[in-house]
Structure formats: structure tokens, C-alpha cells
Amino acid sequence: MFQKIFTRFISLKTLTTPNPNALKFISPEFKILPQQLKNKTFEFTSSLQSIHSPLALKLFNIPGVRSVMLGNDFLTVNKQDHINWANLTPEVKEVLESFSKTGQPTITHELINEIQNEEAVDNSNDSELVSMIKELIETRIRPAIQDDGGDIEFKGFDEETGNVFLKLQGACKSCSSSEDTLKNGIESMLKHYIEEVNEVIQILDPEEEIAMKEFEKLEQSLKKNKTNEEGDAPPNL
């Protein structure tokens, strides 16, 4: 049986994140996720993915919402580049306030059961080394990333190469400092405590890979234009 996770009247505040296109919404009056999932987060990148989250589905009805992540006591919304937060924030707050009056759960029973079954299978097959990596991520890394409105998901470990595969979520995945977070933050910590770790590799969704390639093309174009402009400049006297 789901507990009612919203009170009738809620106060909401927003927190900025390292990603200018992501805002974190929190309220002291409610917990977004039920108690049995307090250490989990759920990210939805489209309305089609949101069939197991009535709240996320409503948020995707707002023009400009790019992705939604539900955490224990916070919600992170990623917006499209051309959308202004001054227009989007009131609409997000309105959805949260109206949803709080329905008494609906934010995610369905089906999704909860699916996640719990997957975890039971995954954990039973973990080697001692994988268990150590997961514990370090859970206790030392995830709390810091969730503070910034994001999360990180362990996707695998190759014991032959020492490569750890991770997926960034929420505010962190499309942040300009995501590579720095992975290499100078997460990778450094894992290598410090677990000598078998060689490298951390980020797993991207297909749409994220396309966006990354387009960004790299833009960077190269800007560098080329800058070089040409410097070459055309008159010599100094």
C-alpha cells in the first residue's frame, strides 16, 4: 500500500545546479518517493518513458521540459536550451502543487516491483570487487552528486581492463563539467580506494551521443574561426 507522500499544502523552493539548464525542486513537506525506494532515483527523458510515473507524465505536458528525475526528497527538471526559467518554473510548481492534492503515487507498483526484482538478481551475481565499487559509489559518490540535482548509476566493471562503466543522470549528465566530475572526481576516488580500477567510462544514451558529437563539431568550428581571425589580423608595430 502506498503512503500518501504529499501534504495538501506544500512549500516549494528551487536550487540551482552546476547545469544552467537544470533546476532542483525541493519541499520539506513531502518525500517524492516511497520509503522502500528512498535511496533510488528515477530519470525519465520522454513522455513515453513516463508511463510508470504519473507525476513525470504531467511535467512532460509542459513545453520545454527535456527530462525529469525523481529523487527521495527532490525533483530535478532539465529544460531545453531556448526556454527561460522565469517562464518554466511557475508551471513546474503549479504541476507539483496540483499533483499533491490528488494523493496519487509518483511512480507505479509495477515499476517498484521491477526495480526490486532486478536488484535482487544483480546483487546476487556481484563479485567481491564489484561489491566494493558499488559500496563506494553508494556511500561516498552518490550523495555528493545528488546534492547537485543529479545521480550516477553503476553499469558494469571489466576486471580485465579495470574499466568502470557509469551513467550520469539528472543535472549532471548534460553539464559542461560532467567530464571533469568523472575524471577528477569519481575516477580519482575509485582509483585511490580500489587499486584494480584503471579508468571510468561514461555510458551515453543514443541521443546524448548525437548531442556530444554536435557540440564537438561546434567547438572545432569556433576554434577554426578564431585561428583564421588571428591570421588575418595586421602585424603589431
pLDDT the model gives residue 5: 44
- State the pLDDT confidence band at 7, using cuts at 50, 70 and 90: very low
Asked if residue 145 lies in contact with residue 138, where contact means CB atoms within 8 angstroms, the answer is: no
Q: Which three cell numbers stand for residue 92?
A: 513546474
Helix (H) or strand (E) holding 79: strand 74-79
Check whether residue 96 and residue 173 sit in a common domain.
no
Q: For residues 231 and 73, which has the higher predicted lDDT (pLDDT)?
A: 73
pLDDT exceeds 70 at position 223: no
Residue 2 inside a domain? The answer is no
**Average pLDDT score over residue span 146-163:** 90
pLDDT at 25 over 80: yes
| Separation of alpha carbons 20 and 92, rounded Å | 16
Q: CA–CA separation, 69 vs 168, rounded Å? A: 12
* Model pLDDT, residue 65: 96
Question: DSSP of 131-184, one letter per residue?
Answer: HHHHHHIIIIIHHHHHHTTEEEEEEEEETTTTEEEEEEEETTTT-TTHHHIIII
Residue 115 falls within a domain, yes or no? no
Tens of pLDDT along 76-126? 999 999 999 999 999 999 999 889 888 888 999 888 888 877 776 666 678
Which residue type does 65 have? V
> Does the pLDDT at position 8 exceed 80?
no
Mean pLDDT of the chain: 81
Query: Left (φ > 0), alpha (ψ -120 to 50) or beta: where does 103 sit?
Result: left
Instruction: Bin 149: left if φ > 0, else alpha if -120 < ψ < 50, else beta.
Output: left
Integer distance in angstroms from the first to the last C-alpha of the chain?
80
Q: Any idea of the CA torsion for 162, 123, 168, 86, to the nearest 10 degrees?
A: -170
Specify if 167 maps to a domain. Answer: yes
The answer to whether residues 203 and 163 belong to one domain is yes
Residue 218 has pLDDT above 90, yes or no: no
Q: Work out the pLDDT band at 163, boundaries 50, 70, 90.
A: very high
pLDDT above 90 for 225: no
Locate 131 and state its grid cell.
561489491
In a domain, 192, yes or no: yes
Do 104 and 139 lie in one domain? The reply is no
Task: Give the domain extent around 71.
Answer: 13-110
Q: For residue 37, which amino acid is it?
A: L
Taking residues 193-217, report their average pLDDT: 70
Domain count, the chain: 2
pLDDT exceeds cutoff 70 at 232: no
Does 196 score more than 90 pLDDT?
A: yes
Do 141 and 195 lie in a common domain? yes
pLDDT above 70 as % of the chain: 78
pLDDT at residue 210 tops 90: no
Question: 164-194, pLDDT tens digit by residue?
Answer: 999 888 877 766 566 777 777 889 999 999 9
Q: In 69-127, where does DSSP find H-type helix?
A: 85-100, 109-124
85 and 17 within one domain: yes
